[in-house]
Amino acid sequence: MATGHRLSIASRLERLERENRRWRTLGLTAAVCAACLPLLAWTQAAVTSKPSELEVARASKFVLVDGAGKARAELRLDAGAPGLFLIDAAGKARVQLALIKDDAVLVLADKAAKKRLGLAVDDTGAAHVVLSNRFEIPRAHLVTSADGAPGLVLTDAEGHRKAGIGIDPKNEPWLLPGTAKRSGQKDDK
């Protein structure tokens, strides 16, 4: 009878822990959405009418905190570049959405705050996806240039280019030197 009672308590505890995680995730999502509401209201006011000085909130940094007072999101200037930073429970920025110079950038980091995935559209209009290893060394770079030419470059553990494939702006395929067969080459048999 005691074993059945322990299993019942253990299963109820497991269910409560799942629900607690679910509520924490929902709470964080709601907090981020709530933090964005003033920005949406401010944007709507800017579109519909010219705001007076009293209707405009000005600051160099906005911080969203959780119930314990820990920063969980920041809207700030980072080295002069505007950005939104989402912060995990350990206090590490894990998501960064920013304008860096003329590039729109989204960066996702791992638990150690190492940048692992980057998405960007640069000032020429080229779109980039960069996958990095745990040492923040880019290992795969997928790009579509401003004129629409796609390419993929793969690197070794030190970040040196080792393989690449793509199509140039004239719709001709290319491979990085020293990798695989080039177009038009015959099999070596």
Segment 30-36 long-range contacts (CB within 8 Å, at least 24 positions apart): 31/64, 31/66, 31/72, 31/73, 32/64, 32/72, 32/73, 32/86, 35/62, 35/64, 35/73, 35/75
pLDDT tens per residue, range 74-128: 999 888 889 999 999 999 999 999 999 989 999 999 999 999 999 999 999 999 9
Q: Model's pTM, two decimal places?
A: 0.63
CB of 153 within 8 A of CB of 176?
yes
- Domain residue spans of the chain: 1-57
pLDDT tens per residue, range 16-34: 788 888 888 877 777 776 7
- What pLDDT is stored for residue 143 in this prediction? 95
pLDDT at position 65 over 60: yes
Percent of the chain with pLDDT over 70: 80
Calpha distance 88→53 (Å, rounded): 35
**Which residue would you say has higher pLDDT here, 79 or 159?**
159
Calpha distance 161→60 (Å, rounded): 40
